[in-house]
Amino acid sequence: MPPGCDENTYAELSKRLIDDDSLVLIDSVVGVTPLLESLGSVYTSGAKGGAILKLNAAELCKLTNVPKESERVTIEELKMSTSIFVSNYANANALNYLCVTDGKFPGYLIELGEKKDKFRTWQIDSIDLSERGTLYPIGAGDTVAAGTLAAWQHLNSKGGVIPASTGTKLSNKETLWSNDKQDNGIRVATAFAFGIACGSASCLKQENSVFDVEDAEKFLEEMNRPILME
């Protein structure tokens, strides 16, 4: 959040900008409490839209006071921090998913159900860039967020900013991973995978949050089907 803005800035913006058809991706842990309250008043029963909170594993653990013991988050730490997050935030049910990145390690999509102690968690492939020479990771997180939201919008409506050829590859990947079954979780997992592919591609470019779409497409094509952890 820009310096000098009040904690409820994003909440106030959301009241003006979204309705229950909107797809929202939050890439901030500042002002989460008032923002979730605002989203809770927008997304009523039967809403066609939805909301994702994207954050890294260290942020999630810090928010919930769960010690992160090693460089890579463990499934136990992820489960505990998610459970505490849902319990601690009164309007956490305004969120549909958490997209959790973990640096060079796999990411996780956590589907938040109506029951506070029931989650579905998918592990999303990371991209191995160890042989790619000098990397430029600044801005990669922003790129993951943008790529995920753009892909989610495309898969929901076949519109938005995704180029048509990229959109076709994205839709084909969703179909392959879904095994022809309707599952919104796989749809969002596909979108998050594309976001990770975009963020990884941006690490190859010196400019902040710049990447070649062809690199992102190649990374997505090489990714394995998300693993449903439970």
pLDDT of 95:
94
Give CA–CA dist 223/125, Å, rounded: 6
pLDDT of 116:
61
Burial classification of residue 2, based on how many CB atoms lie within 10 Å of its CB (0-12 exposed, 13-18 middle, 19 or more buried): exposed
Domain that holds residue 23: 1-124
Give CA–CA dist 36/53, Å, rounded: 10
- Residues 131, 202, single domain; the answer is yes
pTM of the predicted structure, to 2 decimals: 0.94
- Residues 146, 211, single domain; the answer is yes
Give CA–CA dist 144/203, Å, rounded: 11
pLDDT of 113:
75
Q: What is the DSSP string of 11-26?
A: HHHHHHH--TT-EEEE
- Residues 165, 86, single domain; the answer is no
- Residues 202, 98, single domain; the answer is no
- Residues 100, 134, single domain; the answer is no
| Tens digits of residue pLDDT in 77-116 | 999 999 999 999 888 989 999 999 999 999 999 999 766 6
Which of 82, 105, 124 is a domain's end point?
A: 124
Segment holding 30, helix H or strand E: none
- Residues 113, 161, single domain; the answer is no
As for how many domains the chain has, the answer is 2
> What's the chain's average pLDDT?
92
pLDDT of 180:
65
pLDDT of 115:
62
Which of 61, 93, 124 is a domain's end point?
A: 124
Give CA–CA dist 225/57, Å, rounded: 21
- Residues 111, 133, single domain; the answer is no
* Mean pLDDT (whole number) for 217-224: 97
Question: Residue 199 pLDDT more than 90?
Answer: yes
What share of the chain in percent tops pLDDT 90?
81
